[in-house]
């Protein structure tokens, strides 16, 4: 599968940057002319991945988050969100709905479930003490573009 375009941004793991990440991905994806529901799905998945980094990867400090979005032939989008935070000791357990390492009064433990619901594929790799990488893939239905 041939890559057509890619963008990589790095930003501080502050809650105000979650909206920035959503907007940046949306702006990059407009070149595919996605439908409004497709764009909403992608933005929601990005929001969850970035929020997980902010809340869980860096519980006591502001760390760095890197987001990469790549477009491939056939309307395939791959978004990767990476941190160098505390890592996840048990990825299988963390991906279970309702599991959270945060305050259960504040966190529902649905971040990975939401990502899986809105994307075709979600892959998580993590090393305790070294960080986590979440790779999300979705194939968009391509719409014919008017000829110019």
Q: Is 52 an annotated catalytic residue?
A: yes
Q: Is 84 an annotated catalytic residue?
A: no
Task: Check if the beta carbon of residue 81 is closer than 8 Å to that of residue 92.
Answer: no
6, 59, 96, 101, 132 from 67: Cα distances, Å: 11, 19, 24, 23, 12
* Selected catalytic residue, list 17, 18, 22, 52: 52
* Selected catalytic residue, list 107, 123, 133, 145: 107
Dihedral (CA of 128, 90, 134, 20) sign: negative
* Selected catalytic residue, list 17, 18, 48, 78: 48
Q: Is 48 an annotated catalytic residue?
A: yes
Active site residues: 48, 52, 107
């Amino acid at each position: 599968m041939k890559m057509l375009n890619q963008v990589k941004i790095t930003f501080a793991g502050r809650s105000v940057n979650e909206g920035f990440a959503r907007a940046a991905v949306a702006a990059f994806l407009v070149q595919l002319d996605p439908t409004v529901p497709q764009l909403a799905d992608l933005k929601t998945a990005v929001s969850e991945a970035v929020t997980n980094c902010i809340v869980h990867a860096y519980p006591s400090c502001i760390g760095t988050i890197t987001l990469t979005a790549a477009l491939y032939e056939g309307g395939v989008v791959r978004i990767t969100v990476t941190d160098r935070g505390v890592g996840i000791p048990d990825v299988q357990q963390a991906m279970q709905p309702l599991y959270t390492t945060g305050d259960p009064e504040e966190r529902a433990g649905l971040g990975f479930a939401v990502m899986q619901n809105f994307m075709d594929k979600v892959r998580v790799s993590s090393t305790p003490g070294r960080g986590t990488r979440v790779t999300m893939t979705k194939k968009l239905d391509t719409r014919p573009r008017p000829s110019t």
